[in-house]
Structure 1
Amino acid sequence: MSLSTLTRPSPVHRPSDLLAAYLTGSFYFSSARGTLLADGVHTRVRAGSGGRARAAAEALDAAAAAGLPDPVVVGAAGFRPDGAAGLLVPAVVRRAGAPAAMAAHLPEPRPGTGWTVRPRPEPDGYTTAVSRALELIGDGELRKVVLARALELTGDHPVAVPALLTRLVHADPAAHAFAADVTAPGDPAPRTLVGASPELLVSRRGALVVANPLAGSAPRAGDETLDRERVARLRDSAKDLGEHAHTAAQVAEVLGRFCADLDVPERPEVIGTPTMWHLSTRITGRLRDPLDPACSALGLAEALHPTPAVCGVPAPRALTAIADLEPEDRGYYAGMVGWSGLDGDGEWAVTIRSAEVCDRTVRLFAGAGIVPGSDPDAELSETSAKFRTLLRALGLEHLV
C-alpha cells in the first residue's frame, strides 16, 4: 500500500474529552502534535529488542487487512534493550488536538498525608555511586554515565491514576504526557506507567523526522530574577555543554544513517518545564526511504534508544556501569513510550518524569548525567529537583 492511499480520520474529539475518558488500562499519549486515546486489544506485538519495528509493521498490515480502521501500535519499552516491552494494536483509537486548548484549572491533589517513603538507595548511597562513576571516568572507561535513584512511596489508599494523569497534563500541556498499562505477572493490581516527559525521542511525519535530545539541567527557582541567572549559567556551563554535546552528536549520528539530509544546530537552546531548565537541541532530517519499516517512527526509536541522555558514552560500558552502580532495576524508567501508524508516522518520548503506579505504591526515578567535573552532592540535588514533577502532582512536593 502506498503512502498516498493512506488516510487518517480527522480528529472529532476535544482533548479534554479524551483525557476525561481515560481509564486505568487504556493507553493515553498527548503532546503538541495531538492527543491519542486507545482501548482494547486487537493484536499484541511480540518481538525482542531490534525486531519490534518489523513485528509492528506486520501486525499493522494484518490489522488493516482485517478491516481495522486507523490501526496503530501503542505502548512502552523499558530502559534496557533486552528489557520488558508492552506493545499492541488497540481495538479502538480516538484522536484529538493538542491539550494546550484545555482549560487551565488544575485539579488539587489529595493532601500528602499517610505516605511512607523509601529512598533506593539512600542519599549517601547515591553520592557514593556518583563518586565511583567519576573514578571510572577518570580511568578512561567512560566519558559519561547517567545514574538514577528511586523513591518508593506507599499510601493509605490506592492511587487514582486518571486523576494523576489529569494533573500532569494540566500542569504542563506542552509535555509528552502518557499512561500505559505495563502490568506484569505477579502484580497484585494493574500497573501503569504514567508521566509527563519533556524529551522527544523521535517523531516522524511523512519523510520529516524530528528528535529533541535534552542533556544538561538546572532546577527552576520560581523567581524571575533567579531563573534568568540560572538560564544564563546553564547556557554558558562548560560541564553541561559538554554533557549535551555527547547526546546531540550520538542522536545525529544515528539519524544520519536513515536521512538524506540532517539539520543539527551548532549550539543548544534552553527550554523550561514547570520544575526544570534543560539544554535542548532540535534535530531535523528527511528520510531516504520512508517505506522501509526500519524508518518507521518505532524503527527510528529502536535505533536511537537508549541515547546518552539516559545511558552514557560509550553505551555498552555505560549499561554495565548502571547495572553495577544502581541497586534498583529501572524497569520502564528512561525507556520509551508512544505510537506508530500504518504509514510509519508516529511519536515516541523518553520515559523520564515518570512513575510506575500499582495499587497503593508509586515507584519513581530521577537521574543525572555524570561527566568530568560532576559533583556528587550537586547531582543528588538535581535528581531531587526532577522528582518534583510527579511529587507535585501527588501533593507530595514537600518530600524534596
Structure 2
Amino acid sequence: MPPADGPDHAVIGAASGLLGQYRAAAGEAFFASPTRTLLAAGVHARVPQDARPLPVRVAETLAEARRAGVERPLVVGAVAFDRDSRAELAVPARVRAAGALRDDPLIALPAPPAEGAEWRVRPVPEPHAYGAGVAAAVDRLRDGELSKVVLARTLELTADEPLDLPAILQRLARRDPGGYTFAVPAGGGRTLIGASPELLLSRRGTAVLANPLAGSVPRGEDLGEDVRRAAALLESPKDLHEHAVVVDAVREALAPYCRDLEVPERPTLVRTAAMWHLATTVTGELADPALSALELACALHPTPAVCGTPTGLARRVITEVEPFDRGLYTGMVGWGDETGDGEWVVTIRCAEADERTLRVYAGAGVVEQSLPEDELAETSAKFRTFLDAAGVAR
C-alpha cells in the first residue's frame, strides 16, 4: 500500500489521473485534500459495528490487517453525525496515492459538461416549514435555552437515467481543487459524494491542525459585489459571534491533548466557488503521540459548526425540528493509518446517491440574531455547490 508521498506524489497528471479513474460502480473510494489524493479499491476488512468506541474498533481492524500481511494499512470512509450509530469504514485491498489536486496543472482542464437531465425535486422540509423551524429556534435562543443550533434541510432529486457519479465528482473537484473532495461507499449500494471546505482535524506525527468554519455568505455575481460581501462578512457581529462559539469549542476540546495550542484572535476568509466562510486555523502539538487523528476528531465531533451549543440540547432541537435522519451528513469523512496519522473532514456540501436519486443536504447556523429568510437563502446558496455539479438548473 503506497504512502501518500510515494513515487507518484509530484508527477504531473498523477492526482487528476486518479480522479479520472474513480468508478462508483466498483465500490471504490476517492478522497482528495490539500495534501494528497487517494483512490482505494476492494475491501480487505470492514470496521465492525459494535458497542466498543469507534477508535478502538478502527485500531484493532488496522492491527488485524497488518498481521494479515497488509503493508501500511489504512481505513477510508465516513462516520455518521451520530458516530455511535453508524460508521462506513473499511481497510481497502488496494490504495493508490498522489499529491494534491490543486498542485496538478491538469486539474485546470474542464470537467465533462453536465447533461441536461430532467430532475424531479422534492424539498424536505418545504421552504416555509424550514423557515418556521428557524423562527421557533430563535425564540428558544432568546429565552436562553441555548446559544446556537444548526438546522438543515434536504432536496431529494430523482432522474430517469442512471447517475454518472464519476462525472459529478470531476465537476466538484475541478470547481474547488483546493478543498476536500470525496466519494465513498455509504452502505446499501449508496455513495456519499461531495466537496467539503472544512477540515475537522488532521494529524501528522505530533502536529495537529483544525480549521473550523462558521459564518457564511454567498459569493457575489460580479467582482465588486463579491468583495463587498467578503468584507461585510469579516465585520458582521452575527457571523463573528457564530464563529467565535465554534472556535471556543475547538479550543476547549483540543486543549487537554495538546501543548503549544495556537488559536488566532480573528478569523480569516475561505472561499469556494459558491460561498465565503469565516475560518480559523488552529494548530497544536500533541502531548501524547499515541493519540490518533480519529480519537482527536471524535473528541471534537460534533462541533457547534454542525450541531450547536450546548451540544446535548442542540442535538435534541435538531431531532425535534428536522424531519429526516441526517445519516452521514455532518459526520466526518476521510482516512486514518496505523500510525495514527489521518485527515477527517466535516461532511458537508454533499449528497447520498444511488442509481437514480440524490439526497442533497445543506444547513445554517441559527443564533439569536438569525432571520428565517436569511438562513433559507444561505442553505439555497450552499445547495448550489452540488446542484451545479449535478446539472440541476437554477
What TM-score results when the alignment is normalised by the length of structure 1? 0.93
Residue 370, structure 1, aligned to residue 362, structure 2: no
Partner of 2:161: 157
Superposed displacement of residue 237, structure 1: 0.5
Residue 381, structure 1, aligned to residue 377, structure 2: yes
* Change over 3 Å in CA distance of 1:91–1:117 after alignment to 2: same
Partner of 1:251: 250
Superposed displacement of residue 225, structure 1: 0.6
Partner of 1:16: 16
Deviations 1:13-69 (A, max 9, x none): 411221122111111100111101111111111145871112111211221222211
Letter in 1 for 2:21: A
Letter in 1 for 2:281: R
Partner of 2:186: 182
CA distance in 2, matches of 1:20, 1:372: 45
Partner of 1:43: 45
CA distance in 2, matches of 1:271, 1:11: 29
Tell me, yes or no, if the aligned pair for 1:106 and 1:171 is still in contact at 8 Å.
no
Question: Does the residue aligned with 1:319 lie in a helix, a strand or coil?
Answer: helix
Partner of 1:320: 316
CA distance in 2, matches of 1:129, 1:346: 37
Q: 2:132 aligns with which of 106, 128, 140?
A: 128
CA distance in 2, matches of 1:344, 1:165: 28
Q: 2:357 aligns with which of 361, 378, 394?
A: 361
Deviations 1:113-156 (A, max 9, x none): 42100000111000000011011111211100000000000011
Partner of 1:199: 198
Residues 1-400 of structure 1: pairs in structure 2 closer than 5 A: 8=3, 10-13=5-8, 14-24=14-24, 25-48=27-50, 51-100=53-102, 101=104, 102-184=106-188, 190-291=189-290, 295-398=291-394
Question: Does the residue aligned with 2:107 lie in a helix, a strand or coil?
Answer: coil
Deviations 1:275-299 (A, max 9, x none): 00000000000001112xxx21111
Letter in 1 for 2:135: S
Tell me, yes or no, if the aligned pair for 2:202 and 2:210 is still in contact at 8 Å.
yes
Partner of 1:4: none
CA distance in 2, matches of 1:396, 1:20: 22
Question: Does the residue aligned with 1:267 lie in a helix, a strand or coil?
Answer: coil
Superposed displacement of residue 397, structure 1: 4.3
Superposed displacement of residue 108, structure 1: 3.7
Tell me, yes or no, if the aligned pair for 2:114 and 2:389 is still in contact at 8 Å.
no
Letter in 2 for 1:125: A
Tell me, yes or no, if the aligned pair for 1:210 and 1:285 is still in contact at 8 Å.
yes
CA distance in 1, matches of 2:52, 2:145: 26
Which range is displaced more, 349-358 or 53-62? 53-62
* Change over 3 Å in CA distance of 1:49–1:201 after alignment to 2: farther
Tell me, yes or no, if the aligned pair for 2:201 and 2:293 is still in contact at 8 Å.
yes
CA distance in 1, matches of 2:17, 2:51: 35
What TM-score results when the alignment is normalised by the length of structure 2? 0.95
Deviations 1:77-100 (A, max 9, x none): 111233321111111111100011
CA distance in 1, matches of 2:289, 2:135: 45
Letter in 1 for 2:310: P
Superposed displacement of residue 257, structure 1: 1.5
CA distance in 2, matches of 1:47, 1:68: 22
CA distance in 2, matches of 1:311, 1:164: 28
Partner of 1:3: none
Tell me, yes or no, if the aligned pair for 1:49 and 1:81 is still in contact at 8 Å.
no
CA distance in 1, matches of 2:82, 2:239: 25
Letter in 2 for 1:88: A
* Change over 3 Å in CA distance of 1:112–1:84 after alignment to 2: farther
Which range is displaced more, 117-126 or 131-140? 131-140
Tell me, yes or no, if the aligned pair for 2:3 and 2:97 is still in contact at 8 Å.
no
Which range is displaced more, 47-56 or 33-42? 47-56
* Change over 3 Å in CA distance of 1:96–1:128 after alignment to 2: same
CA distance in 2, matches of 1:395, 1:139: 43
Partner of 2:11: none
Tell me, yes or no, if the aligned pair for 2:219 and 2:276 is still in contact at 8 Å.
yes
CA distance in 2, matches of 1:49, 1:12: 40
CA distance in 2, matches of 1:109, 1:103: 15
Superposed displacement of residue 205, structure 1: 0.5
TM-align CA RMSD: 1.5
Tell me, yes or no, if the aligned pair for 1:296 and 1:345 is still in contact at 8 Å.
yes
Letter in 2 for 1:222: E
Structure 1 gap segments, 5+ residues each: 1-6, 185-189
Structure 2 gap segments, 5+ residues each: 9-13
Tell me, yes or no, if the aligned pair for 2:4 and 2:37 is still in contact at 8 Å.
no
